[in-house]
Chains A and B, each alone.
Chain A
Amino acid sequence: MPDFNFIDQVNTLSEQPIELCYHCHKCTAGCPVVDQMEYGPDRILRMVQFGEKDKLLQSEDIWVCVGCETCGARCPNEIDAARVLGALREIAFAENAAIAEPGAVKFHRLFLGLVQRTGRMHEISLLALHKLWTLNLFSDLPAGARLIMMGKVPLKPSIIKGRSEIARIYATAGSKKKQVPNGD
């Protein structure tokens, strides 16, 4: 019998009607990062239907997803697979699962920390911090240099006025996180 606790957990967290998926493959056909994935969004949904918790939480795919929501925009059954993957990430994180892409988790944390402080994303700071964390110092340098030359990324971080409101958002989200429905 499939692990219905897990299925319910994913359903509740993602608010998506996963059972409605008839596996037409449209989401996977349009996913921009599917070549980096092992299963792709449609197979992920099937694995949720089967309740394959361990396989899913340890999959690289849930971290490869960039959350662009192309899958959800195209789905004939209005299932937003990106939100399902998001739910899986949350569960993996909450349950300390063996995460296949630790770099991605670090990236998420850095991103959130940066936004919490300045209220706005600053690409160069994020990149620098991420490179320090991962010690992957020299990858993609020419591309970064070109972007700076073209003025696509500002050198100085800008700090927004409504940082107190940002702090409130973080507080609310942090308390919600504790309400993540438990798998057991």
Chain B
Amino acid sequence: MSRIGVFVCHCGINIAGTVDVAAVVEQVRKHPEVVFAADYKYMCSDPGQELIKKTIAENQLDGVVVAACSPAMHETTFRRAVASAGVNSFRCECANIREQVSWVHQSQKEEATRKAVAVTRSIVEKVARNEKLEPISAAVTHRALVIGGGIAGMQAALDVANAGFPVILVERQGQLGGKMAQLSGTFLNIKAAPDLLQKMVHQVMDHPNIQVLTGAEVKTVEGYVGNFKVQVELCQEGQSEPVAFTFEVGALIVATGWERYPQARLPEYGGGEIPDVIDGLAFESMLAPGGQIRRPSDGKVPGEVVFVQCAGSRDPERGVPYCSKVCCMYVAKQAMVFKERVPDGQPYVFYIDIRSAGKGYDEYVQRAMTDSHVLYLRGKVSKIFREGDKVIVWGADTLSGRSLEIAADLVVLATPLAPSPGAVDLGQRLHASTDANGFFTEAHVKLRPVETLTAGIFLAGAAQGPKDIPETVAQASAAAAKALQLFSHEKMTISPLVATVIPELCAACGACVLACPYGARSIHPLWNIATVNASLCQSCGACVVACPNKASQVHNWRPDQIMAMLDEVL
């Protein structure tokens, strides 16, 4: 027989306004496992927690039920209080009588009280059967592997390396720098950008903690957070066959960046057909130091240049549904640099709307309009075709409600930032999901933007979605911080609420291995029984359902507990 104490929270009027808390206390006190029951205005407050601690000492409690809000809210609070009074924290549970009772049955007070009693008594049944558990500890390899050697990957590698941990930086291309190396300069600080990148490449190459592998690709990833085994294939010069190396690392940072969108997919804009219709990166190489602004068709310096924003972006029918985020700004930059180099020329920009959200960004676009006389035309281009040596652009200006035809010398399409080819494939190897467009998916769109759903694998830069350089650098540093958080401990603690196997019942049939979506189950080669890797297990219960012998169980969610809870509720 347990000695369980039950504490019913008023939560001000949140619970007590609907549920008769005194009646709940009275009904729950009758349960044979309950030796103490009381109600209090705010259980989560300091006096509320003190009440729990005092009662544990006075009544020698060995289990606690707090009938209050959702466990997502304050389970940790109450378990900490219970543990400080000497009771195993896994012998404390929350009965949710707020979100699932008082808030949803505000007009049925009597029924709500009955339901609160049933829910609380069912949790009493559970706690009476809860095991005392201790957190599991596992080793952490203090080394990171970064996939991608662009600005994102280099920043993340530098941050981890500067904190004193070794980093392996894997780059598919022959050199570091990524897409930023192809830019003539960046908006806001046009001249400094290429120099800054070169400085960064040197810092990475010379860093004693960073091992740079160029011409290398990640082939396989095994293991789990803190303990990954990554196989990398390296194509070395003079060797026909790639050489494979295996690295043991504790964290992975995915920084695979973006790729050019195929222009041929934009036939209505003459993409891939008309030589004087080029994309933004092609124009970058003309603007780069040493480059020349000349039309591809005849080498003449173009006079009238039309920039087409959203050429494929925000166009689910013909292109991609998302906004590529950087085009509004780089088009303003390119138009300004063009006007500076070709003062007699005239840049036009067709846009749907200007997305210049960033510090100093809108002012920058305004400078393009006022100082460089770039003519912004609000409307989407409908068609681009060749006529003689001109490229005719058909568009509209919705601000004045008229159609426009511009005979241009050169057209620059701001095509979408596409995800890196192979991102989806790499995602499968990492067990990190990618979205419908091929970008890596963050664990939570608002609150966990640099993590994947696989613990220990983090995201940086355009691999997760189109981003400009400052945002990329910020996310890369954030991903590094997440990896360092992991490395700040000698060992990591894992929740003991994971699956377990009763060896006597296990027939090693392997049903659990197939059922587990996290790769946490395997058959032990020596003992020939199913095992659980606690680091990978997410306590989903798929193995429990799959096991024909009921040998698989999840700690503190055993079938006998669930049946006892159901008996109490029904």
Q: Which residues of A pack against B, CB within 8 Å?
A: 1-2, 4, 17, 19-20, 23, 43, 46-47, 49-50
The contact sample of 22 A-B pairs, CB cut-off 8 A, is A1-B304, A1-B346, A2-B346, A2-B375, A4-B373, A17-B370, A19-B369, A19-B370, A19-B373, A20-B366, A20-B369, A20-B370, A23-B378, A23-B399, A43-B400, A46-B397, A46-B399, A46-B400, A47-B400, A49-B375, A50-B397, A50-B400
Against A, the Cβ 8 Å flags (1 = close, 0 = not) of B388-430 are 0000000001011000000000000000000000000000000
B interface, how many residues as a size bin?
10 to 19
Looking across the interface, which residue of chain B has its beta carbon closest to that of A22?
B354
Q: Hey, which chain A residues are within 8 Å of B399, CB to CB? A: 23, 46
Q: Hey, which chain B residues are within 8 Å of A2, CB to CB? A: 346, 375
Give the distance in Å from the alpha carbon of A50 to the alpha carbon of B378 in the complex: 13
* Closest chain A CB from B204 CB (angstroms): 42
Q: Hey, which chain B residues are within 8 Å of A47, CB to CB? A: 400
User: How would you classify the secondary structure of chain B's contact residues: helix, strand, loop or mixed?
Assistant: mixed
Given contacts A17-B370, A19-B369, A20-B370, 4 further A-B contacts (CB under 8 A): A1-B346, A19-B373, A23-B378, A46-B400
Give the distance in Å from the alpha carbon of A4 to the alpha carbon of B370 in the complex: 13
Looking across the interface, which residue of chain A has its beta carbon closest to that of B368?
A19
Give the distance in Å from the alpha carbon of A20 to the alpha carbon of B369 in the complex: 7
Give the distance in Å from the alpha carbon of A43 to the alpha carbon of B399 in the complex: 8
Q: Hey, which chain B residues are within 8 Å of A1, CB to CB? A: 304, 346
Give the distance in Å from the alpha carbon of A20 to the alpha carbon of B373 in the complex: 10
Q: List B residues 363-395 near A (Cβ within 8 Å).
A: 366, 369-370, 373, 375, 378
* Closest chain B CB from A155 CB (angstroms): 49
A-B contact count (CB 8 A): 22
User: How would you classify the secondary structure of chain A's contact residues: helix, strand, loop or mixed?
Assistant: helix
* Closest chain A CB from B377 CB (angstroms): 9
Give the distance in Å from the alpha carbon of A56 to the alpha carbon of B399 in the complex: 16
Give the distance in Å from the alpha carbon of A145 to the alpha carbon of B400 in the complex: 44
Q: Hey, which chain B residues are within 8 Å of A20, CB to CB? A: 366, 369-370
Looking across the interface, which residue of chain A has its beta carbon closest to that of B353?
A22
Give the distance in Å from the alpha carbon of A50 to the alpha carbon of B404 in the complex: 11
Give the distance in Å from the alpha carbon of A49 to the alpha carbon of B348 in the complex: 12
Q: Hey, which chain A residues are within 8 Å of B370, CB to CB? A: 17, 19-20
Give the distance in Å from the alpha carbon of A4 to the alpha carbon of B378 in the complex: 19
Looking across the interface, which residue of chain B has its beta carbon closest to that of A17?
B370
* Closest chain B CB from A46 CB (angstroms): 5
Q: Which residues of B pack against A, CB within 8 Å?
A: 304, 346, 366, 369-370, 373, 375, 378, 397, 399-400
Q: Hey, which chain A residues are within 8 Å of B304, CB to CB? A: 1
Looking across the interface, which residue of chain A has its beta carbon closest to that of B406?
A1
Give the distance in Å from the alpha carbon of A20 to the alpha carbon of B370 in the complex: 7
Q: Hey, which chain B residues are within 8 Å of A43, CB to CB? A: 400
* Closest chain A CB from B358 CB (angstroms): 17
Interface centre among A17, A19, A47, A49 (most CB of B within 10 A): A19
Looking across the interface, which residue of chain B has its beta carbon closest to that of A4?
B373
Q: Hey, which chain A residues are within 8 Å of B397, CB to CB? A: 46, 50
Interface centre among A2, A17, A20, A49 (most CB of B within 10 A): A49
Q: Hey, which chain A residues are within 8 Å of B346, CB to CB? A: 1-2
* Closest chain A CB from B336 CB (angstroms): 13
Give the distance in Å from the alpha carbon of A46 to the alpha carbon of B369 in the complex: 13
* Closest chain B CB from A21 CB (angstroms): 9
Looking across the interface, which residue of chain A has its beta carbon closest to that of B402?
A50
Looking across the interface, which residue of chain A has its beta carbon closest to that of B399?
A23
Q: Hey, which chain A residues are within 8 Å of B366, CB to CB? A: 20
Give the distance in Å from the alpha carbon of A1 to the alpha carbon of B304 in the complex: 8
Give the distance in Å from the alpha carbon of A50 to the alpha carbon of B399 in the complex: 11
- Top 9 A-B pairs, shortest CB-CB distance: A19-B369, A23-B399, A46-B400, A19-B370, A1-B346, A46-B399, A17-B370, A20-B366, A20-B370
Give the distance in Å from the alpha carbon of A17 to the alpha carbon of B366 in the complex: 10
Give the distance in Å from the alpha carbon of A2 to the alpha carbon of B399 in the complex: 16
Give the distance in Å from the alpha carbon of A47 to the alpha carbon of B397 in the complex: 11
Q: Hey, which chain A residues are within 8 Å of B369, CB to CB? A: 19-20
Give the distance in Å from the alpha carbon of A2 to the alpha carbon of B406 in the complex: 11
Give the distance in Å from the alpha carbon of A154 to the alpha carbon of B286 in the complex: 72
Interface centre among A2, A43, A47, A50 (most CB of B within 10 A): A50
* Closest chain B CB from A8 CB (angstroms): 9
Interface centre among B366, B369, B400 (most CB of A within 10 A): B400
Give the distance in Å from the alpha carbon of A140 to the alpha carbon of B528 in the complex: 108
Interface centre among A17, A46, A47 (most CB of B within 10 A): A46
Q: Hey, which chain B residues are within 8 Å of A17, CB to CB? A: 370
* Closest chain B CB from A2 CB (angstroms): 6
Interface centre among B304, B370, B375, B378 (most CB of A within 10 A): B375
Give the distance in Å from the alpha carbon of A152 to the alpha carbon of B77 in the complex: 79
Give the distance in Å from the alpha carbon of A43 to the alpha carbon of B397 in the complex: 12
Looking across the interface, which residue of chain B has its beta carbon closest to that of A39?
B400
Looking across the interface, which residue of chain A has its beta carbon closest to that of B407?
A1
Give the distance in Å from the alpha carbon of A47 to the alpha carbon of B370 in the complex: 16
Looking across the interface, which residue of chain A has its beta carbon closest to that of B345?
A1
Q: Hey, which chain B residues are within 8 Å of A4, CB to CB? A: 373
Looking across the interface, which residue of chain A has its beta carbon closest to that of B366?
A20
Q: Hey, which chain B residues are within 8 Å of A46, CB to CB? A: 397, 399-400
Give the distance in Å from the alpha carbon of A141 to the alpha carbon of B272 in the complex: 72
* Closest chain B CB from A130 CB (angstroms): 35
Give the distance in Å from the alpha carbon of A23 to the alpha carbon of B373 in the complex: 17
* Closest chain A CB from B301 CB (angstroms): 15
Give the distance in Å from the alpha carbon of A2 to the alpha carbon of B404 in the complex: 12
* Closest chain A CB from B369 CB (angstroms): 4
Interface centre among B346, B373, B378 (most CB of A within 10 A): B373
Q: Hey, which chain B residues are within 8 Å of A19, CB to CB? A: 369-370, 373
Give the distance in Å from the alpha carbon of A3 to the alpha carbon of B378 in the complex: 19
Give the distance in Å from the alpha carbon of A23 to the alpha carbon of B366 in the complex: 13
Give the distance in Å from the alpha carbon of A1 to the alpha carbon of B373 in the complex: 12
Give the distance in Å from the alpha carbon of A4 to the alpha carbon of B374 in the complex: 11
Q: Hey, which chain B residues are within 8 Å of A23, CB to CB? A: 378, 399
Give the distance in Å from the alpha carbon of A95 to the alpha carbon of B2 in the complex: 102
Give the distance in Å from the alpha carbon of A107 to the alpha carbon of B395 in the complex: 42
* Closest chain B CB from A43 CB (angstroms): 6
Give the distance in Å from the alpha carbon of A47 to the alpha carbon of B400 in the complex: 8
* Closest chain A CB from B176 CB (angstroms): 40
Give the distance in Å from the alpha carbon of A17 to the alpha carbon of B371 in the complex: 10
